[in-house]
């Protein structure tokens, strides 16, 4: 009887750890509290619009400013920007 009980427990324990590891953290941040604005070059705009490429890390090299998520977008001079 004890052997069956311990076998049952040993089979349930790893399953419990697996299920506990799959739950999300309820209070963790999933995004930054700041939003960043980057200046877009003409070459970047060509990649995005004419060649239908997705934005990549090379386009995010020159941040202009940042602002909080609950704040309005700061005034910017005319131009092309990535948020």
Per-residue confidence (pLDDT) for residue 67, from 0 to 100: 92
Model pLDDT, residue 60: 85
- C-alpha distances in Å from residue 57, one per residue of 2, 8, 54, 79: 59, 50, 10, 20
DSSP 58: G
Instruction: Give pTM, 2 decimals.
Output: 0.57
Q: Find residue 65's DSSP bridge partners.
A: 37
Contact status, residue 67 vs residue 34, Cβ threshold 8 Å: yes
pLDDT digits over 26-82, tens only?
776 777 889 999 988 888 888 888 887 788 888 888 789 999 988 998 999 998 888
**In the prediction, which pLDDT does 15 show?**
59
């Amino acid at each position: 009887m004890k052997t069956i009980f311990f076998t049952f427990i040993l089979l349930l324990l790893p399953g419990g750890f697996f299920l506990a590891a799959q739950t999300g953290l309820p209070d963790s941040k999933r995004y930054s509290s700041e939003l960043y604005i980057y200046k877009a070059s003409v070459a970047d705009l060509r990649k995005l619009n004419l060649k239908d490429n997705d934005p990549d890390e090379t386009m995010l090299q020159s941040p202009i400013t940042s602002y909080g998520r609950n704040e309005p977008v700061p005034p910017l001079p005319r131009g092309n920007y990535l948020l």
